[in-house]
């Protein structure tokens, strides 16, 4: 049923001091986690390749070892979703509303609805990071996993510890020492940004904003600010994380992706039969990933 007179009955009479219900929205957060890409296809696919491994010792007069194992290993898929929302409002509700500046019939909050929907879809990549998504494919395990397969071994970007000085440092060191390519060569991987839910912001502040070692009476320097290059982008709070204890670290490796197929657009028209004003919004995009080395996640039990 369209928004009608009964839905705005107090807006039909003079004397209201004001109309409330719209609030300042949370600033965009997804774009500080995901790299934006424009898309021209319904399904975007990214191939992860294996290049050459370590060189081998050669004896005098002996044969050179050949590595012919290079080639495609995994395909990551990212299919776009259609996002839409609309509403209808009757002609009488438009004509008789005395407070059009505060409750405008053509602006009942579509932009805000679409913005927050996008934040939820983006955060859901982190919220479900330990659950394997068959539609994504990739290396056959979840985004955050203790067993990402590389040739002849596995690599972990998964932890189960609470956020504190020791666990944050260990995660930074694990990224630097353990992240490898498909051939087993170490890659230049460093932690760059800590992502926490609102409940962990006080901990993140203490860990990243103090010059001396946090939580102690020692006069030691805060090693978090320097170890493995420190965290050059500090920390950020994501208001849409569903766990109060899970925390993440973004690395300098690109791999979390927001792909925009159709930008946000709105349209409106008057229905010829009912005289209702029809307003709708539409966009098409997807959140996904194509390289697990972009993130390190901790999910305390």
What residues form DSSP beta bridges with 183?
A: none
Q: Output the pTM of the full model.
A: 0.90
For range 160-185, the mean pLDDT: 95
Give the contacts of 127 (CB within 8 A, at least 6 positions apart).
Answer: 240, 241, 242, 243, 246
* Gap between the Cα atoms of 35 and 263, Å rounded: 16
Binning pLDDT at 50, 70 and 90, where does residue 167 land? very high
- The pLDDT assigned to 227 comes to 87
For range 53-71, the mean pLDDT: 92
- In terms of Cβ atoms closer than 10 Å to its own Cβ (0-12, 13-18, 19+), residue 203 is buried
- The pLDDT assigned to 101 comes to 75
How many H-runs (helices) and E-runs (strands) does the chain carry? 4, 13
Q: Which tens digits make up the pLDDT trace of 175-197?
A: 999 999 999 999 999 999 999 99
Q: Which tens digits make up the pLDDT trace of 200-227?
A: 999 999 999 988 788 777 778 888 888 8
Give the contacts of 70 (CB within 8 A, at least 6 positions apart).
Answer: 49, 50, 51, 52, 183
What is the pLDDT of the chain when averaged over all its residues? 92
Q: Which fold has domain 33-43+73-298?
A: phage-related protein like fold (3.90.1690)
- State percent of the chain over pLDDT 70: 100
Task: Please give the angle made by the CA atoms of 221, 225 and 228, to the nearest 5 degrees.
Answer: 115
- The pLDDT assigned to 3 comes to 80
Judge whether residue 107 has pLDDT over 90.
no
Q: Residue ranges of the domains in the chain?
A: 33-43+73-298
Give the contacts of 27 (CB within 8 A, at least 6 positions apart).
Answer: none
* Gap between the Cα atoms of 182 and 281, Å rounded: 43
- The pLDDT assigned to 194 comes to 97
For range 38-48, the mean pLDDT: 95
């Amino acid at each position: 049923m369209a928004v009608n007179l009964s839905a705005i009955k107090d807006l039909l009479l003079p004397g209201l001091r004001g109309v409330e219900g719209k609030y300042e929205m949370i600033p965009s957060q997804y774009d500080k986690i995901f790299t934006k890409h424009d898309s021209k296809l319904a399904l975007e696919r990214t191939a992860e390749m294996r290049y050459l491994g370590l060189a081998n010792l050669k004896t005098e007069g002996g044969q050179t070892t050949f590595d012919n194992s290079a080639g495609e290993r995994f395909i990551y898929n990212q299919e776009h979703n259609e996002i839409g929302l609309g509403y209808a409002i009757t002609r009488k509700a438009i004509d008789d509303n005395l407070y059009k500046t505060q409750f405008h019939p053509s602006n009942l909050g579509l932009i805000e609805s679409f913005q927050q929907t996008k934040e939820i879809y983006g955060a859901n990549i982190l919220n479900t990071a330990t659950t394997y998504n068959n539609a994504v494919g990739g290396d056959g395990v979840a985004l955050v996993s203790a067993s990402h397969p590389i040739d002849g071994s596995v690599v972990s970007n998964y932890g189960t510890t609470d956020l504190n000085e020791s666990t944050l440092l260990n995660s930074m060191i694990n990224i630097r020492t353990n992240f490898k390519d498909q051939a087993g060569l170490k890659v230049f991987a460093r932690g760059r940004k800590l992502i926490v839910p609102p409940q962990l912001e006080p901990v993140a502040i203490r860990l990243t904003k103090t010059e001396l070692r946090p939580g102690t009476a020692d006069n030691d320097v805060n090693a978090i600010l320097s170890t493995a290059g420190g965290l050059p982008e500090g920390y950020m709070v994501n208001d849409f994380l569903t766990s109060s204890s899970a925390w993440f670290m973004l690395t300098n490796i690109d791999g979390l992706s927001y792909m925009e197929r159709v930008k946000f657009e709105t349209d409106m028209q008057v229905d010829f039969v009912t005289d209702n004003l029809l307003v709708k919004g539409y966009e098409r995009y997807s959140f996904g990933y194509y390289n697990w080395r972009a993130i390190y996640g901790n999910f305390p039990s």
